[in-house]
């Protein structure tokens, strides 16, 4: 019985010694001891910190030691990408904590930090420093512990329309229009939907609708969204607003939407057609027509300096505004500057004296001479954007040595002579037919006269009764 009691005592003594050693070891490792505080992050809102947004941390402060504690102070030492949020404290206090607290009895502290707007996606350390006092009087001691926790930061999710390929499009003309969408955040984007609309319905996409889908876009990458567009032919020139919409999903599959606007000018240059009109009183007139889709303001028609032609008097005239489809007449005194350079000419053969009968009929030598170069006509105008534009057109003319101007192949030039020559065979046939008709008519009249004369003559015996 004694042996059993002694053995039992030794076993109990061993057990208490082991427990004492374990408690000492725990104290050396910073876990449970006579004065110990355990600080844990029990909640983070949002679960992943977002660049440019605050993050709220909820801390549990629990006394797991055997002594009561007082003057507990918990301080956050934030480093990049975290910083102090305006109006929020980095240090908070708990006046007293009882010994051997359960989880439900722990103190609760809340802190808010700001996350840098340019923070990259990743995990970052945050140091939490805790100071507290244990004991009283001469046994009072102050302890300081530091705990490092890891906070996860989500990359910045943002995209923007960086560039629109052009600032203006022409009316009733198919033109390309491109938008460049860039992921300016630090996290990839997925399931992007890009679209745009013109509230007035003047600019519309052709060959496709106005919506484009982008499956995935890495951070920092760009993608070009292309359209073919056309402006209404009846649109008034001016600046039109395009409403641009971009939606995408973040890492948590939450849908986000970005709306912005872009300006697009509708209207542009126009085109002209210039043709010879007539020659009268020494002046040559030209028809100038606006054959484009835009109005032309302050139109000026000029005959620029050029080889082969010269202008007497003013070489330019202002004709005002020309709506699309309108035309006007511009007249100039234009002559061939090379007339007489190679001697007088006739329609028949170069270098031969002019026909005297023709001189007497016309009263003067009026031989024709063709210019090999067309006449250049320059048109200046102000387009719908207020920019001055210049268009040069060419008109083929025939000139005479007396200064008369005609269109190539028109009346008064060698073209008319060639035209008359082409009708000479028909004229000859008509003359011949007329001659035959007249000749046969006269023969017929003679035959009729002879018959009448024969019928009026009778023998004498035939006249007796």
Whether the pLDDT of residue 26 is over 50: the answer is no
Pairwise pLDDT comparison (243 vs 103), residue with the higher score:
243
Whether the pLDDT of residue 206 is over 70: the answer is yes
Pairwise pLDDT comparison (159 vs 370), residue with the higher score:
159
Residues of the chain with CATH 2.60.40.10: 26-153, 159-266
Look at residue 279 in the predicted model and tell me its pLDDT: 85
Whether the pLDDT of residue 365 is over 50: the answer is no
- Asked if 346 and 369 count as a contact pair (C-beta separation under 8 A), the reply is no
Predicted structure pTM score: 0.52
* Range name among 10-14, 152-156, 196-200 with the lowest pLDDT average: 10-14
Kindly tell me the burial class for residue 191, based on how many C-beta atoms sit within 10 Å of its own C-beta (0-12, 13-18, 19 or more). middle
Look at residue 104 in the predicted model and tell me its pLDDT: 84
Distance of CA 203 to the CA centre of its chain: 12
Look at residue 278 in the predicted model and tell me its pLDDT: 87
Output the CATH code of domain 159-266.
2.60.40.10
Whether the pLDDT of residue 458 is over 90: the answer is no
Look at residue 335 in the predicted model and tell me its pLDDT: 87
Whether the pLDDT of residue 356 is over 70: the answer is no
Give the CA dihedral 281, 283, 289, 294, nearest 10 degrees.
-130
**Is residue 120 helix, strand or coil?**
coil
Look at residue 352 in the predicted model and tell me its pLDDT: 43
Question: 285-344 pLDDT, tens per residue?
Answer: 999 999 988 999 999 999 999 988 989 999 999 999 999 999 999 999 988 876 544 434
* Range name among 10-14, 298-302, 338-342, 428-432 with the lowest pLDDT average: 338-342
In 295-443, beta strands by DSSP E:
296-302, 309-312, 316-322, 327-336, 368-369, 375-382, 388-395, 397-400, 405-407
Look at residue 424 in the predicted model and tell me its pLDDT: 73
Q: Read off the pLDDT band of 12 (50, 70, 90).
A: low
- Asked if 373 and 340 count as a contact pair (C-beta separation under 8 A), the reply is no
Q: Span 22-39, mean pLDDT? A: 53
Sign for the CA dihedral angle at 382, 387, 388, 394 comes to negative
* Range name among 136-145, 282-291, 373-382, 408-417 with the lowest pLDDT average: 408-417
Across the beta sheet with 175-183, the strand order is 159-164, 175-183, 222-231, 203-206
Output the CATH code of domain 26-153.
2.60.40.10
Question: 247-276 pLDDT, tens per residue?
Answer: 988 767 778 888 999 999 998 889 999 999
């Amino acid at each position: 019985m004694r042996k059993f009691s002694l053995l039992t005592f030794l076993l109990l003594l061993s057990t208490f010694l082991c427990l004492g050693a374990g408690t000492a070891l725990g104290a050396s490792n910073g876990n449970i001891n006579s004065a110990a505080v355990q600080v844990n992050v029990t909640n983070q809102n949002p679960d992943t910190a977002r660049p440019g947004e605050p993050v709220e941390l909820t801390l549990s402060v629990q006394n797991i030691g055997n002594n009561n504690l007082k003057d507990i102070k918990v301080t956050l030492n934030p480093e990049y990408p975290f910083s102090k949020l305006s109006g929020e404290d980095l240090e908070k206090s708990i006046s007293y904590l009882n010994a051997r607290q359960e989880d439900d009895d722990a103190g609760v502290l809340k802190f808010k930090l700001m996350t840098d707007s340019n923070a990259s996606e990743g995990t970052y350390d945050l140091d939490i420093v805790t100071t507290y006092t244990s004991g009283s009087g001469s046994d009072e001691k102050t302890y300081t512990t530091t705990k490092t926790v890891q906070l996860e930061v989500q990359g910045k999710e943002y995209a923007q329309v960086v560039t629109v390929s052009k600032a203006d499009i022409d009316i009733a003309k198919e033109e390309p229009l491109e938008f460049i969408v860039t992921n300016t955040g630090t996290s990839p984007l997925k399931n992007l939907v890009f679209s745009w609309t013109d509230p007035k319905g003047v600019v519309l996409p052709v060959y496709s609708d106005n919506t484009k889908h982008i499956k995935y876009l890495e951070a920092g990458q760009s993608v070009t969204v292309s359209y073919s567009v056309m402006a209404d032919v009846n649109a008034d020139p001016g600046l039109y607003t395009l409403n641009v919409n971009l939606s995408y999903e973040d890492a948590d599959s939450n849908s986000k939407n970005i709306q912005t606007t872009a300006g697009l000018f509708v209207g542009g240059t126009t085109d002209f057609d210039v043709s010879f009109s007539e020659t009268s009183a020494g002046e040559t007139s030209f028809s100038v027509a606006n054959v484009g889709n835009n109005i032309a303001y302050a139109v000026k028609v000029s005959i620029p300096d050029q080889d082969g032609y010269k202008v007497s008097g003013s070489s330019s005239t202002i004709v005002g505004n020309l709506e699309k489809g309108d035309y006007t007449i511009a007249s100039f005194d234009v002559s061939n500057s090379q007339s007489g350079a190679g001697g007088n000419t006739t329609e028949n053969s170069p270098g031969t004296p002019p026909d005297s009968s023709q001189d007497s009929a016309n009263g003067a030598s009026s031989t024709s001479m063709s210019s090999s170069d067309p006449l250049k006509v320059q048109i200046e105008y102000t387009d719908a954007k207020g920019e001055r534009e210049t268009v040069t057109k060419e008109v083929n003319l025939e000139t005479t040595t007396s200064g008369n101007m005609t269109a190539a192949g028109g009346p008064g030039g060698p073209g008319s002579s060639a035209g008359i020559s082409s009708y000479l065979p028909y004229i000859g046939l008509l003359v011949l037919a007329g001659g035959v008709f007249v000749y046969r008519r006269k023969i017929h009249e003679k035959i009729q006269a002879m018959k009448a004369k024969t019928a009026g003559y009778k023998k004498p015996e035939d006249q007796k009764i």
